[in-house]
Chains A and B, each alone.
Chain A
Amino acid sequence: MSDPAHSPHLQHHFETPQQQFDAGKLGMWLFLATEILLFGGLFCAYAIYRANHPEIFVYAHQFLNKYWGGTNTVILLCSSLTMAWAVRAAQLGQRRLLIVLLSLTLLGAMGFLAIKYVEYKEKWEHGLLWGARFAPQVEGHGEAPAGAPPAALPPPAAAPAPPAAFVVERSAIKPAPPGPGGTLVAEEEQQEQLDHAGMGRRPDNVQTFFSIYFLMTGLHGIHVLIGMGAILWILVRAIRGDFGPEYFTPVDFVGLYWHLVDLIWIFLFPLLYLIH
């Protein structure tokens, strides 16, 4: 047992368990670097739109509930602790503790996604969606403005399509005429309602914020899902008794991935929920 070369977990192309562990960890960090670059693209999109249109972000963040966001931050931080502690338990061969801590981490991930579901559902019901799907109906956010029937807004699909010439390359044509009257009236009616709801005047192109919001939190949510799958996998292996002081690499690497998910959220929370 004392000779590391006889460890059943040591692959033949490594000299020592330490060398094997370091090589694996290097690979894991390279993967995490690609994850940072992946999210970097979205952070760049965020920076460009916020720099050009700060008014959209100041207005639209009012639709995000910072208490839900804060609760999710706390949940994710606590699950990061249980994950880091689980790595310690695996290193020390504390199998029962490892199983408990991994289960708690999984529970935290479920709690995070449950709150995310509540938030997404609210956005969906109020039409606070991305791009062309953006059709705000705000009366449910606070109390309905007096005398405004909730079904008064025409669905955005009913608006007549813009003239075909509007769609082709803009630099080659004359400036577009103002849009059809019907859409403008509907816009103004919506504007009225929004003013009543105490949100202030709605700037143009608020859907930009929600496109970015859903892309960033959505990609992060997918990472949470993948993380849950990975945690479940090492939980099953931990119950089987695979891990101990000599072999805990999968726990450590899944932990690193989980902390990265936490790291991304640490930045998403103030950037999306706490604009002022």
Chain B
Amino acid sequence: MDAHASSHAQVGHVMRRRVLFRVLAALLVLTYVTVAVTSFDFGRWNLWVAMGIAVVKASLVLMFFMHLKYDKPFNGMILVVSLALVALFIVIALDDTLHYKKNVIPGYAPEIKTNPK
């Protein structure tokens, strides 16, 4: 790319400026999309649409801004393992909480006032 890169082996990967700006443009467009999409109602898919866009944005940041695409794969593995552990944590906790009865000992739990609609 220039004198520095050719004179000796560059430690680490140097991102190209053009790539950085394209990634930012994509991130800004996706931010606009995630806000604009709230005016449409996909019912129970609303959350998953929002999370899908967030995952794409996060992948762009990880791959390019955080150099993972050009990194040793082991760093990416650490990331994936930590995300998998968080996912495991949330899935098992959700599975647990959604299986409880509202009133385990009948008559002994304070009545929960529900939202009258």
Contact = CB atoms under 8 A, between A and B. Distances in A.
Given A43-B86, A201-B115, A262-B61, A70 B79 contact: no
A84 B51 contact: no
A25 B71 contact: yes
A13 interface: no
B28 A74 contact: yes
Contact of A37 (B8, B11, B85, B93): B85
A269 B27 CA distance: 13
A88 B57 contact: no
Given A70-B31, A77-B27, A18 B11 contact: yes
A2 B6 CA distance: 12
Contacts of A44: 86, 89-90, 93
Interface of A: 1-2, 4, 17-18, 21-22, 25-26, 29-30, 32-34, 36-37, 40-41, 43-44, 47-48, 51-52, 55, 66, 70, 73-74, 77-78, 80-81, 83-85, 87-88, 91-93, 170-171, 174-176, 201, 203-204, 245-246, 248, 252, 255-256, 259-260, 262-263, 266-267, 269-271, 274, 276
Chain A CB count within 10 A is highest, among B5, B57, B81, B107, for B57
B94 to A, nearest CB: 6
A81 B38 contact: no
Given A175-B108, A252-B12, A276-B46, A266 B58 contact: yes
Interface residues of B, number: 63
A36 B80 CA distance: 11
B86 A18 contact: no
Interface string B98-114: 10000001011111110
Interface of B: 1-2, 4-5, 8-12, 14-15, 17, 20-21, 23-24, 27-28, 31, 34-35, 38, 41, 46, 50-51, 53-54, 57-58, 61-62, 64-66, 71-72, 74-75, 78-79, 81-83, 85-86, 89-90, 93-94, 97-98, 105, 107-113, 115-117
Given A4-B8, A204-B115, A259-B65, 19 more contacts: A40-B85, A44-B86, A77-B27, A77-B31, A80-B27, A81-B24, A81-B65, A85-B15, A88-B15, A88-B20, A171-B108, A245-B4, A248-B12, A255-B66, A259-B66, A266-B58, A266-B61, A274-B35, A274-B38
